[in-house]
Amino acid sequence: MILAVSKFKNPPSQPVGYRGRFAPSPTGPLHAGSLVAALGSWLDARKNGGKWLLRIEDLDTPRSIPGADQQIQAQLLACGLSWDEDVTWQSQRQAGYEKALEQLNLFKLIYPCTCSRQTIAQTLSQMGIQTPRNQEMVYPGTCRPDPSSVYSLEDLKNTQVAWRLALPSQCTIQFEDALLGIQGQQLNTQVGDFVIRRNDGLFTYQLAVVVDDALQGITHVVRGEDLLSNTGRQIHLQHILGLPTPQYCHLPLVLDAHGEKLSKQTLATQIQTQNAQQALAELRKAAKHLGLRELPDGENITIAEWLLAATHAWKA
């Protein structure tokens, strides 16, 4: 069950039939951590007799690596993780995001912001607020106009400023994670008015993921726990835009020897999928991380047979 507390009314009911997805950013080939998210979401979809979609989140063009999307697809296929509908690319979906931005504008919920990270940090420190190094700064609302207004389409084309979403004064989001149980976030004090379109003209992950999950009729989002702190923002956007909230499930992260999340920044090595033995070995590591026990461990098993056994072992 999804519990959501905000001033907006409940979203419409979800479409029938399980629809899950894997939504990698093409910042490099799959590593052990991203394979866990791919396998977990694939198994959950298969166990539920649902569909599993692949969406390439190549919005952050400066960070996208040319060819990584193709590499990811090849790695998934080598692991037997096939998808059910055409692959989608966020870079081709600008019109959908622009429509959502215009809608938020009509609700008088966005405003332009010219603050740099440095000015935000200065304002916060003047307010006596220290942000721990590994945490995002809570935006103090410096540029927020009062009263709020609707901007012209011409104004909205201004890509020299960031566009932020104005939060209501009390904005607590609660939801039940399939693995972690009840989760809550006070968006005002923990996040602040967040950016919808950046000052380089790029739409943010928060907006794009919400628009695309809804457009693709996603009912279940199974992804890594590193994204948990984004879920409150996404549910809030769903409420405003009148979109359904999927069931969320955040999977345990794969950490490196220093206890840090695997990522390109920590130089995570890509999974090896040149032959079936290698791919199966990577799948077995990912399954172990997901807590799957008693899977067939022989050498003479095909990936398809192993995936079937893993699907049976998966607790939906």
The DSSP letter of residue 242 is T
Contact present, 250 and 227 (Cβ < 8 Å): yes
* Stretch of 4-12, 115-123, 196-204, 237-245 lying at the interface with Zn ion (CB under 5 A): 115-123
Is residue 115 part of the contact set for Zn ion (CB under 5 A)? yes
Q: What is the Cα–Cα distance from 19 to 217, expressed in whole angstroms?
A: 7
Complex with ligand GLU: residue 142 or 216, whichever CB lies closer: 216
Q: What are phi and psi of 21, to 5 degrees?
A: -160, 160
113 binds, among ligand GLU, Zn ion, none (CB under 5 to 8 A by kind): Zn ion
Q: What are phi and psi of 163, to 5 degrees?
A: -110, 125
Is residue 142 part of the contact set for Zn ion (CB under 5 A)? yes
Q: What is the Cα–Cα distance from 93 to 86, expressed in whole angstroms?
A: 14
Query: Rounded to the nearest whole angstrom, what is the least distance from the CB of residue 26 to ligand GLU in the complex?
Result: 9
Q: What is the Cα–Cα distance from 48 to 45, expressed in whole angstroms?
A: 5
Q: What is the Cα–Cα distance from 99 to 104, expressed in whole angstroms?
A: 9
Is residue 228 part of the contact set for Zn ion (CB under 5 A)? no
Complex with ligand GLU: residue 37 or 187, whichever CB lies closer: 37
Query: Rounded to the nearest whole angstrom, what is the least distance from the CB of residue 110 to ligand GLU in the complex?
Result: 22
* Stretch of 65-73, 77-85, 136-144, 205-213 lying at the interface with Zn ion (CB under 5 A): 136-144
Q: Which residues bind ligand GLU (CB under 6 A)?
A: 23-25, 57, 209, 223, 227
Query: Rounded to the nearest whole angstrom, what is the least distance from the CB of residue 37 to ligand GLU in the complex?
Result: 7
Query: Rounded to the nearest whole angstrom, what is the least distance from the CB of residue 35 to ligand GLU in the complex?
Result: 12
Contact present, 110 and 64 (Cβ < 8 Å): no
Decide the pairing of beta strands 195-197 and 162-165: antiparallel
Is residue 113 part of the contact set for Zn ion (CB under 5 A)? yes
Residues that bind Zn ion (CB under 5 A): 113, 115, 142-143
